[in-house]
Amino acid sequence: MNSSSSGARPAIEVARVIKVYRRFSHRKQFATLKSALLSRSLIKNLKPDETFTALNDVSLTVPKGRTLGVIGRNGSGKSTLLKLVAGITKPSSGTVKVDGRISALIELGAGFHPEISGRENVFINGIMLGLTKREVAQRFDEIVDFAEMQEFIDAPVKTYSSGMYMRLGFAVAIHVDPDVLLVDEVLAVGDEGFTHKCLDKFAEFKRRGKTILLVTHSLGMVERFCDEALWLDGGRIKGSGDPKRIVGAYVTDVQRKEEDELAAADARAREGADTAVVSPDQPASAVLPDDPTETAAGEGDMFRAAEGRWGSREVEITQVDFHGPDGQPGHVFQSGSRVEVRIHIRAPLPVDDFVVGIGIFNADGTCCYGTNTYIEELAPESLAGDVEATFTIDALDLVEGTYKVDVAVHKIDGYPYDYHRLLHTFRVKSRVKDVGIYRPRHAWRFSGDVRFKDAQPPLSPTPRDRQS
């Protein structure tokens, strides 16, 4: 991390910190004081059997007045880092130094007692967070106003809704007026309005030169709000620096992992279908429906969302893969990008009656699009040997989600050569969380006095190519 502010002491300094959590697996089974005493292993039992390294050699410096966003997958050590900085847990090795008063928004209202009133809880919570009674009294009205709790402040906290509880907790914590604010994914508090109020409060903190350490899954917030970003992966720092760059790298990595998962799931699905329907050594005709009525039954299956593969294999689909805008094979695409579906077909004996079809289904099983060469009035003449059919989608205008694909080669009357039912999967990513099935190309235009804040994400889709 570039500690640009020279001279002044950094607000947060974490040096080569390792945090090892201990797992007492065997003690959980037998652990009683008695057995420990009997086996004279009281001391031994206090030692761990197994360890888990939550943070491994993490160093970072946050200069005063800067906002650092920490991102990473679940279990990557983000919250552990926050707790270490807050001083709630101690590092196994390394040092953590924080200059100034800390307020940690880790769990809001953690010290609230359900039986007593909100008013009394505000006082006690404030004192717990390091204020004096007088300081709480001075800020009391402000706290209550901020939490929008004027009506209920004298009711016992147990009668509060979870939103009220969190709001009050947030209000107290934020009014401690810390020099260093630690925030752990707490902006999911209350409604839109309150969230904005929280963001405004953070912005005010920034203006006043306070230091903020923010742990979040909201990448947009990191990009908009933070001066620097830190990416944790498996307890190690995988990258740090400019938020846009780090978020971009993180998103790419997440996509790559998803890609691998999808590819693996795809392979499993095909394998399962292959062994379930036709084992390779069996003659295809022995299993396959020659009877047109059975074929019809097979087509009836179309509407059941079961994966499978059937057909006579006189013509065989040997491979199906997706290619992104760069021509590289992949499974995760940005909405609106150009995608090719390449279908490898093998016909050992030439056929003159064939139709190649494709269907795209979303997670609900709704057919988003389906077509075949016959519908599109391509009259078959002959197909022989190894061929490749490429189905090009100029702009994949689908909303974010996982899609399954049917690919089939069959006769004009529906007799299946090779039918792949929902065996292929791809995922569409989008920076805009719109809903529905299809995203028409669109734009917003306003006349008159309409203005939007700059901070809002652009509503028109601006597909950013993460793959390059």
Which single residue is written with the structure tokens 């620097």?
A: 228
Closest among 322, 228, 212, 235 to 57, alpha carbons compared = 235
37: CB partners within 8 A, 6+ apart: none
Of 156, 234, 272, 401, the residue at the interface with other proteins (CB under 8 A) is 156
User: Residue ranges of the alpha helices (H) in 235-353?
Assistant: 243-277, 284-287, 292-300
Of 18, 124, 249, 302, the residue at the interface with other proteins (CB under 8 A) is 124
Contact letters (x/-) for other proteins, 41-60, by CB under 8 A?
A: -----x--------------
Query: Greatest CA span in the chain, whole angstroms?
Result: 92
Q: If binding is defined by CB under 8 A, does position 199 make contact with other proteins?
A: no
Closest among 115, 103, 404, 427 to 261, alpha carbons compared = 427
Report, in Å, the least distance between residue 188 CB and other proteins: 16
Of 33, 379, 435, 443, the residue at the interface with other proteins (CB under 8 A) is 33
| CB contact at 8 A, 289 and 298 | yes
Judged by beta carbon, residue 117 or residue 430, the one nearer other proteins is: 117
Judged by beta carbon, residue 140 or residue 374, the one nearer other proteins is: 140
Report, in Å, the least distance between residue 14 CB and other proteins: 16
Q: If binding is defined by CB under 8 A, does position 8 make contact with other proteins?
A: no
Sheet holding 67-71, edge to edge: 102-105, 180-184, 211-215, 67-71, 228-233, 236-241
Report, in Å, the least distance between residue 168 CB and other proteins: 15
Q: How far apart are CA 468 and CA 465, in angstroms?
A: 6
Q: If binding is defined by CB under 8 A, does position 18 make contact with other proteins?
A: no
Which parts of 319-378 interact with other proteins (CB under 8 A)? none
| CB contact at 8 A, 219 and 244 | no
Report, in Å, the least distance between residue 35 CB and other proteins: 9
Judged by beta carbon, residue 131 or residue 358, the one nearer other proteins is: 131
Which parts of 78-117 interact with other proteins (CB under 8 A)? 83, 86-90, 102, 104, 106-107, 110-111, 113, 115-116
Which single residue is written with the structure tokens 């800390």?
A: 102
| CB contact at 8 A, 142 and 177 | no
- ∠ CA 10-251-225, rounded to 5°: 40
Contact set with other proteins (CB under 8 A): 21-22, 31-34, 36, 46, 83, 86-90, 102, 104, 106-107, 110-111, 113, 115-116, 120, 123-124, 127-129, 132-133, 156
